[in-house]
């Protein structure tokens, strides 16, 4: 039995759209900060038949839908293909029993799939001798953004080129202790979103804004964002990442069919935080993934003030997270 734990990451340059949907080969590079929670635990063991179970934080079993079960089965098949590619074809047994324990409410833009599929990949790394970069490829095959949760700190998913299964992999830009930022997460609604990222990615290229966005990331945003991180230039990081988050949502809203993940609460929180940082000179930035949830990323000296702001938001669930170390294998 192999056990691995992992946690989500929050993207500063967003991954939206694939050049190959089946293999989750992204259209562009992306960049994120790995978070220290909420933690997901995945257990993988040999079994006569393949199965997947999902346990909730309270210990109760969550019934998985057909779509979820098929996604895990597909992930394991793709992992087997990748292991052949990495010259480790017999590294995992023919059928696996997978158990997932997650404290993350799914579908609110808190990257639950990133934590789950990176933990699955990490568990497989415990069975096969793979590098972290190869493990990030396995994670990517379950969920593109999961590749960025294999290691901690600041992670880039490098898109690469072509249709080779291993062409896109994650690379660490800086470890967690380089810049100990915080992520105060304000979730206006814990209701499951209607359209998941996988379906959304498939429509991204129908937006008239898509290609310009990809070109922008390639030419400017990704290298500039990496530069801001390496120099710990918060103002620059805020300007680029906020521009990119809003740009991704404009692509989502103009793709066909359009996806509207942000709601009135999101826009209100953004407006209030812009006001607050101006009046109190706070190093805080906002960003949103595929949901109305607002991530308020800030420096240590602003953490208390931002948490206070977040907790004053009526009807919202708040998570106080910080930069984390990525996935790990657990003994036992
Ligand atoms: C908006 O990794 O969830 O959070 O590969 O289909 O699982 P799949 O998509 P996913 O896409 C993440 C989209 C995003 C932006 C990001 O995390 O970069």
Q: DSSP assignment of 110-178, as one string?
A: S-HHHHHHHHHHHHHHTTS---HHHHHHHHHHH-GGGGGGSB-SEEEEE--SSS-TTS-EEEEEE-GGG
Provide the pLDDT for residue 108. 56
What tens-digit pLDDT sequence spans the chain (332 residues)?
999 999 999 999 999 999 999 999 999 999 999 999 999 999 999 999 999 999 887 888 888 889 989 999 999 999 999 999 999 998 899 999 999 998 776 655 566 899 999 999 999 999 988 999 999 999 999 999 999 999 999 999 999 999 999 999 999 999 999 999 999 999 997 666 678 899 999 999 999 999 999 999 999 999 999 999 999 999 999 999 999 999 999 999 999 999 999 999 999 999 999 999 999 999 999 999 999 999 999 999 999 999 999 999 999 999 999 999 999 999 86
Q: Is the CB of 120 under 6 A from ligand 1?
A: no
Name which residue sits closest to atom 4 of ligand 1, judged by CA: 289
38 neighbors 319 (Cβ within 8 angstroms): yes
Q: Is the CB of 24 under 6 A from ligand 1?
A: yes
Q: Is the CB of 143 under 6 A from ligand 1?
A: yes
Q: Are strands 25-26 and 2-6 parallel, antiparallel or unpaired?
A: unpaired
Ligand 1, residues 12, 20, 33, 145: which to mutate, most atoms within 8 A of Cβ?
A: 145
How many residues in total does the chain contain?
A: 332
Q: Is the CB of 15 under 6 A from ligand 1?
A: yes
What is the residue-wise DSSP string for 32-56? EEEBS-S-EEEEEEE-SS-EEEEEE
Provide the pLDDT for residue 122. 98
Provide the pLDDT for residue 106. 60
Q: What angle do CA 205, 29, 286 make, to 5 degrees?
A: 90
Q: Is the CB of 20 under 6 A from ligand 1?
A: no
Provide the pLDDT for residue 109. 52
Ligand 1, residues 213, 250, 290, 294: which to mutate, most atoms within 8 A of Cβ?
A: 290
Provide the pLDDT for residue 194. 77
Write the CA distances from 52 to 75, 91, 104, 107, 174, integer angstroms: 12, 19, 17, 19, 34
Residues in CB range of 261: below 8 A, 6 or more apart: 109, 193, 249, 252, 288, 289, 290, 291, 292
Residue 294 bridge partners (DSSP): 186
| Ligand 1, atom nearest to 18 Cα | 5
How many angstroms is it from 146 CA to the middle of ligand 1? 8
| Ligand 1, atom nearest to 24 Cα | 5
Q: Is the CB of 72 under 6 A from ligand 1?
A: no
How many angstroms is it from 325 CA to the middle of ligand 1? 20
Using DSSP, state whether 4 is helix, strand or coil: strand
Q: Is the CB of 144 under 6 A from ligand 1?
A: yes
Write the CA distances from 207 to 25, 129, 204, 247, 288, integer angstroms: 19, 41, 6, 11, 19
Provide the pLDDT for residue 238. 98
107 neighbors 65 (Cβ within 8 angstroms): no
Name which residue sits closest to atom 7 of ligand 1, judged by CA: 143
Residue 4 bridge partners (DSSP): 42, 329
Q: Is the CB of 30 under 6 A from ligand 1?
A: yes
Q: How far apart are CA 2 and CA 126, in angstroms?
A: 7
Provide the pLDDT for residue 60. 86
Residue 186 bridge partners (DSSP): 294, 318
Q: What angle do CA 274, 280, 283 make, to 5 degrees?
A: 65
279 neighbors 255 (Cβ within 8 angstroms): no
For 276, counting Cβ atoms within 10 Å of its Cβ (0-12 exposed, 13-18 middle, 19+ buried), the class is middle
DSSP one-letter code for 58: T
């Amino acid at each position: 039995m192999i056990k691995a734990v992992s946690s989500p990451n929050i993207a500063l340059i967003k991954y939206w759209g694939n050049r190959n949907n089946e293999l989750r080969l992204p259209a562009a590079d992306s960049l994120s900060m790995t978070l220290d929670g909420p933690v997901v635990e995945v257990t993988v063991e040999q079994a006569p038949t393949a199965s997947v179970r999902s346990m909730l934080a309270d210990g109760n079993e969550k019934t998985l839908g057909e779509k979820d079960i098929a996604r895990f089965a597909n992930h394991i098949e793709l992992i087997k293909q990748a292991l052949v590619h990495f010259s480790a074809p017999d590294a995992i047994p023919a059928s696996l029993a997978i158990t997932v324990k997650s404290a993350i409410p799914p579908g609110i833009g808190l990257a639950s799939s990133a934590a789950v599929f990176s933990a699955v990949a990490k568990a497989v790394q415990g069975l096969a001798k793979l590098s972290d970069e190869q493990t990030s490829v396995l994670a990517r095959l379950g969920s593109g953004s999961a590749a960025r949760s294999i290691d901690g700190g600041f992670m880039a998913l490098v898109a690469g080129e072509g249709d080779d299964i291993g062409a896109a992999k994650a690379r660490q830009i800086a470890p967690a202790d380089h810049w100990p930022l915080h992520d105060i997460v304000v979730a206006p609604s814990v209701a499951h979103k209607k359209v998941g990222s996988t379906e959304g990615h498939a429509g991204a290229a129908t937006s008239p804004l898509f290609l310009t966005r990809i070109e922008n990331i390639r030419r400017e945003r990704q290298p500039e964002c990496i530069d801001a991180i390496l120099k710990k230039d918060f103002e620059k990081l805020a300007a680029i990442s906020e521009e990119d988050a809003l740009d991704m949502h404009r692509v989502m809203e103009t793709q066909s069919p359009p996806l509207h993940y942000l709601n009135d609460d999101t826009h209100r929180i953004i407006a209030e935080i812009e006001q607050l940082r101006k009046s109190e000179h706070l190093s805080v930035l906002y960003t949103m993934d595929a949901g109305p949830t607002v991530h308020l990323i800030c420096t240590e000296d602003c953490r208390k003030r931002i948490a206070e702001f977040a907790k004053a938001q009526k009807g919202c669930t708040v998570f106080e997270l910080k930069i984390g170390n990525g996935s790990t294998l657990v003994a036992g």
